[in-house]
């Protein structure tokens, strides 16, 4: 059974349909990427999975259990960590408070180890743990958003444009960390506009266009597909 199955979901914003019968699956241990241009529905897909924008029809299953009508705050507890679009860190709280809030739903009292893990992945956050998050640089804020999502000890991590607005050298760092997170056992579903980068780290990918999945396959196959090259890789 796949870890995550998105089964024919439709999502509306008011009367505007953002997703049309989107299907995708993510297996345990994978890095799967969603690529597509602006407004294709990538963010909406992640928001539907994490419960922020519930689908009007179709089903989302986590290990076979339907979560498509479950509220966002409950879905986190089921093992879906979401680092949302635009980072959305708590600007007027410290780095440490942000991370602690990431562990808000944890009842096991074992958050210390996860905090150490986040600090190992992002040493910058450890240096700045007492600083207000709003005063961090863009890259550090992105690290914090990922770190906060990791604090809930997710089985699957949803990342929305982690490279957006970052300096090229930081983009490489972030992607390296995403691979490290995956190697330590967390499944990753990644949205990227930077399709080249996304297809370099992902095993499989889906291409979204105006709310529909138009292509799917291994990252390698997509990299070599002439359509994808033309539309998204600029080759």
Q: What is the binding site for other proteins (CB under 8 A)?
A: 50-52, 71-74, 76-77, 82, 84, 88-94, 96-97, 100-109, 111-112, 115, 128-132, 134-135, 148-149, 152
Toward other proteins, which CB reaches closer, 42 or 82?
A: 82
Tell me the closest approach of the beta carbon of residue 156 to other proteins, in angstroms: 13
Helix (H, G, I), strand (E, B) or coil at 188: strand
Tell me the closest approach of the beta carbon of residue 220 to other proteins, in angstroms: 32
Q: Of 156, 155, 134, 234, whose CA–CA distance to 145 is shortest?
A: 134
Strand-pair category, 57-62 with 204-209: unpaired
Toward other proteins, which CB reaches closer, 131 or 179?
A: 131
> What's the first-to-final CA gap in the chain, in angstroms?
37
Strand-pair category, 212-218 with 204-209: antiparallel
Toward other proteins, which CB reaches closer, 148 or 223?
A: 148
Tell me the closest approach of the beta carbon of residue 119 to other proteins, in angstroms: 13
Toward other proteins, which CB reaches closer, 103 or 213?
A: 103
Report which secondary-structure segment, H or E, holds 43.
helix 42-50
Contact 5, 49 (CB under 8 A): no
Tell me the closest approach of the beta carbon of residue 194 to other proteins, in angstroms: 23
């Amino acid at each position: 059974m796949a870890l995550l199955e998105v089964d024919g979901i439709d999502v509306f914003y008011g009367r505007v349909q953002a997703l049309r019968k989107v299907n995708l699956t993510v297996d345990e241990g994978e890095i799967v990427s969603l690529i597509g241009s602006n407004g294709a529905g990538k963010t909406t897909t992640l928001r539907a999975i994490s419960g922020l924008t519930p689908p009007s029809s179709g089903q989302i299953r986590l290990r076979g259990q339907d979560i498509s009508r479950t509220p966002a705050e409950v879905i986190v507890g089921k093992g879906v960590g979401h680092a949302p679009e635009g980072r959305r860190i708590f600007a007027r709280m410290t780095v440490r408070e942000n991370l602690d809030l990431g562990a808000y739903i944890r009842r096991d009292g074992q958050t210390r180890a996860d905090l150490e893990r986040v600090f190992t992945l992002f040493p910058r956050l450890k240096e700045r743990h007492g600083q207000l998050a709003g005063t961090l640089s863009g890259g550090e804020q992105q690290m914090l958003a990922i770190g906060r999502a990791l604090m809930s000890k997710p089985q699957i991590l949803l990342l929305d444009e982690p490279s957006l607005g970052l300096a090229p050298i930081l983009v490489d760092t972030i992607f390296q960390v995403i691979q490290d997170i995956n190697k330590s056992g967390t499944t990753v579903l990644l949205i990227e506009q930077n399709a080249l980068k996304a297809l370099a780290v992902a095993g499989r990918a889906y291409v979204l266009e105006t709310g529909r999945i138009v292509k799917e396959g291994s990252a390698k196959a997509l990299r070599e597909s002439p359509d994808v090259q033309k539309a998204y890789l600029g080759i």
